[in-house]
């Protein structure tokens, strides 16, 4: 079968949608396809030199006439040029706004009939879809695409009811790089971080946006801490970080909550962790849960969005209702105090990644779609 030339449009900085776009691009490149990233900067997980991976930077000059430099138009221009210069077979756009719209415009500028796939990641529907102006924009992006995918069944349903597109939407689950995320030896990391060997570790990894409800995690940890010797490790950075540091201080938990900032050694951090917390109010999938599972860390997570498609209550973790910090603490204590139960949950977490979210299977699903949209099957 002919190898494909694919244009990938995504947010290149930290964030689940960029991670999925990049990992998929890398896997497709390994399968011999030419992957052309068209982004504002090199996606953070794309190595400088890698066979079959190309990077086309979108540049925009800040002319005085613009209050807001029109990135969407600059992106469309770059897409049009790459379609023409590289002879692309299709475009794969991650996150509807503005990428799906820029793709439609770029394709039109190039006077091309190239196929477009848009992958919805969550907030492009669950937050932007509530804004009447953006709702129409998201619908336009979906209906201009030849195929739209959603990262969970929950997001597919939300899109159908909120956006009411004409086109069909197909669910394709996210996956992680199993070679990177696996049980590893963390060396002396636990003691290096000032955590005693006999202390339990609860981990949360995110971009510290309000949607992640880190305040709930701290409140729940406070309840756990009364009965269990444990530390809470908060990894990442973002708009709520300072507020959360202040909350930790007010709650008298400064010594028990470790703010690590952004880290690259996630498998090692997960290797020292006993439980992951994700108590978000919106989450289309919760990629970080899979990263934790792949390292053998069960989760306590909210019963919202796509999370129940990843966390099977009482098997690889526990589901709690949004804001129920008492239930989260109670379930976490059960896991932390019962090594037998913890062992079973750990095995089941590893199995979830191997069976339900196997990268090889999911990449093949995308590849099938690529051939279909490129008109080759
Ligand atoms: O919410 C984030 O952490 C970032 C956001 C993004 O756009 O990158 O994540 C969304 O896409 C991820 C990858 O598909 C999903 O795992 C997240 O659940 C989703 N976030 C939300 O729905 C809030």
In tens, the pLDDT along 215-251 reads 999 999 999 999 999 999 999 999 999 999 999 999 9
Return the best residue to mutate from 9, 12, 17 for the ligand 1 pocket (most ligand atoms within 8 A of CB).
Answer: 17
Does position 330 have pLDDT exceeding 70, yes or no? yes
Average pLDDT of the segment spanning 80-87: 98
DSSP output for 317-342 = EEEE-TT-HHHHHHHHHHHHH-HHHH
Return the best residue to mutate from 19, 285, 290, 366 for the ligand 1 pocket (most ligand atoms within 8 A of CB).
Answer: 285
pLDDT of residue 124: 84
Q: State in Å: Cα 130 to ligand 1 middle.
A: 17
Kindly list the strands in the beta sheet with 257-261, ordered across the sheet, starting from the edge strand earlier in the chain. 257-261, 230-235, 200-205, 275-278, 299-302, 317-320
Residue 276 tokens, joined: 């992951």
User: Is 122 touching ligand 1 by the criterion CB < 6 Å?
Assistant: yes
- Mean pLDDT computed over every residue of the chain: 95
Ligand 1 nearest-atom number relative to CA 152? 14
Contact 105, 73 (CB under 8 A): yes
CA distances from 49 to 28, 46, 55 (A): 15, 8, 10
pLDDT of residue 256: 98
* Calpha distance 175→329 (Å, rounded): 28
Contact 164, 139 (CB under 8 A): yes
Radius of gyration of the chain, Cα coordinates, nearest whole angstrom: 21
Where does the pLDDT of residue 14 fall: very low under 50, low under 70, confident under 90, or very high at 90 and above?
Answer: low
Helical (H) or strand (E) element with 22: helix 16-30
Q: State in Å: Cα 134 to ligand 1 middle.
A: 18
Does position 266 have pLDDT exceeding 90, yes or no? yes
Q: Which ranges of 65-208 would DSSP assign to H, the alpha helix?
A: 71-86, 99-109, 123-126, 132-144, 153-163, 189-192
Closest CA to 165 of 152, 176, 155: 155
- pLDDT tens, position by position, 38-79: 999 988 778 878 899 999 999 987 777 777 788 999 999 999
Domains in the chain with CATH codes: 5-175+358-373 (3.40.50.2000), 189-355 (3.40.50.2000)
Ligand 1 nearest-atom number relative to CA 211? 23
Q: State in Å: Cα 112 to ligand 1 middle.
A: 31
User: Is 12 touching ligand 1 by the criterion CB < 6 Å?
Assistant: no
User: Is 204 touching ligand 1 by the criterion CB < 6 Å?
Assistant: no
Q: State in Å: Cα 283 to ligand 1 middle.
A: 6
Pairing of strands 90-94, 169-171: unpaired
% residues pLDDT > 90 (the chain):
89
Q: State in Å: Cα 286 to ligand 1 middle.
A: 6
Torsion of Cα atoms, 18 then 19 then 23 then 24, to 10°:
-50
Return the best residue to mutate from 97, 119, 121, 266 for the ligand 1 pocket (most ligand atoms within 8 A of CB).
Answer: 121
Q: State in Å: Cα 207 to ligand 1 middle.
A: 10
Where does the pLDDT of residue 356 fall: very low under 50, low under 70, confident under 90, or very high at 90 and above?
Answer: very high
* Calpha distance 69→85 (Å, rounded): 25
For the entire predicted model, the pTM comes to 0.95
CA distances from 236 to 68, 207, 227 (A): 29, 6, 27
**Terminal-to-terminal C-alpha distance of the chain:** 10
Instruction: Give the Cα-Cα-Cα angle 314, 219, 318 (nearest 5 degrees).
Output: 5
Where does the pLDDT of residue 188 fall: very low under 50, low under 70, confident under 90, or very high at 90 and above?
Answer: very high
């Amino acid at each position: 079968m002919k190898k494909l030339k694919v244009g990938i449009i995504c947010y290149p900085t930290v964030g689940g949608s960029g991670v999925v776009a990049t990992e998929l691009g890398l896997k497709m490149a390994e399968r011999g396809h030419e992957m052309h990233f068209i982004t504002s900067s090199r996606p953070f997980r794309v190595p400088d030199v890698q066979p079959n991976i190309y990077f086309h930077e979108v540049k925009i000059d800040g002319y005085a006439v613009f209050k807001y430099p029109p990135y969407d138009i600059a992106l469309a221009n770059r897409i049009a040029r790459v379609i023409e210069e590289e002879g692309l077979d299709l475009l794969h756009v991650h996150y509807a706004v503005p990428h799906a719209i820029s793709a439609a415009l770029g394709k039109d500028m190039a006077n091309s009939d190239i196929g477009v796939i848009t992958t919805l990641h969550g907030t492009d529907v669950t937050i932007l879809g509530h804004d009447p102006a953006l709702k129409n924009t998201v619908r336009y992006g979906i209906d201009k695409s030849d195929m739209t995918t959603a990262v969970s069944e929950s997001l597919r349903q939300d899109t159908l009811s909120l956006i009411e597109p004409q086109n069909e939407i197909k669910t394709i689950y996210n996956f992680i790089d199993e070679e990177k995320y696996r049980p590893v030896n963390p060396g002396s990391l636990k003691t290096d971080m000032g955590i005693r060997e006999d202390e339990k570790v609860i981990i949360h990894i995110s971009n510290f946006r309000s949607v992640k409800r880190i305040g709930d995690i701290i409140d729940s940890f406070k309840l756990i801490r009364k009965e269990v010797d444990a530390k809470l490790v908060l990894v990442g950075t973002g708009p709520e970080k300072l507020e959360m540091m202040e909350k930790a201080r007010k709650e008298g938990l400064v010594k028990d909550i470790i703010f690590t900032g952004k880290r690259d050694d996630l498998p090692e951090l997960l290797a020292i962790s006993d439980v992951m917390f994700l108590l978000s109010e919106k989450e289309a999938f919760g990629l970080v849960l899979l990263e934790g599972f792949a390292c053998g860390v069960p989760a306590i997570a909210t019963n919202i969005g796509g999370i129940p498609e990843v966390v099977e209550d009482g098997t690889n973790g526990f589901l709690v209702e949004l804001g129920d910090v008492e239930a989260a603490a109670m379930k976490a204590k059960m896991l932390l105090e019962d090594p037998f139960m913890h062992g079973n949950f750990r095995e089941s977490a590893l199995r979830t990644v191997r069976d339900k979210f196997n990268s090889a299977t999911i990449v093949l699903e995308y590849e099938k779609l690529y051939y279909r949209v490129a008109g080759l099957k």
